[in-house]
Amino acid sequence: WPMPRPAPPVSLRPRHLSVTEIEKLIRDPYAIFARHVLRLQPLENLGGAVEPRLRGILFHDALRRYADSGERSLAAVLQAGQEAFFPYIAHPDVRHFWWPGFKRMATAFVTEDAVLRTGIAASLTERKARLGLVIAGVEHSLRARIDRIDVSQRGAARIIDYKTGTVPSARQIETGLNPQLTLEAAILRHGECEGQPPAEVEDLVYIRTSGGRPPLEVFPLSAMKGLADVRAVAEAHLAGLRALLERYLDAGQPYVPRAAMFKERDASDYDHLSRFAEWSRGGT
Query: In the chain, where do the E strands start and end?
Result: 16-18, 120-135, 138-152, 157-163, 192-193, 201-208, 217-220
Number of C-beta neighbours around residue 75 at 10 A: 10
Q: What is the mean pLDDT of residues 95-100?
A: 95
Least confident span in 159-168, 244-253, 272-281: 272-281
Whole-angstrom Cα distance, residue 26 to residue 260? 7
Rounded distance, CA 190 to CA 241, Å?
14
Q: Phi and psi for 90 in degrees, rounded to 5? A: -70, -20
Confidence of residue 282 (pLDDT cuts 50, 70, 90): low
What is the predicted pLDDT for the residue at 100? 97
Q: Does the pLDDT at position 60 exceed 50? A: yes
Least confident range from 31-45, 67-81, 101-115, 233-247: namely: 31-45
Of 88-97, 162-171, 259-268, where does mean pLDDT reach its minimum?
259-268
- Beta-carbon contacts of 113 under 8 Å, excluding residues fewer than 6 positions away, are 72
Element (DSSP H or E) covering residue 113:
helix 99-116
pLDDT tens, position by position, 198-220:
999 999 999 999 999 999 999 99
- The Cβ of residue 3 has, within 10 Å, a number of other Cβ atoms equal to 18
Output the pLDDT for position 47.
Answer: 59
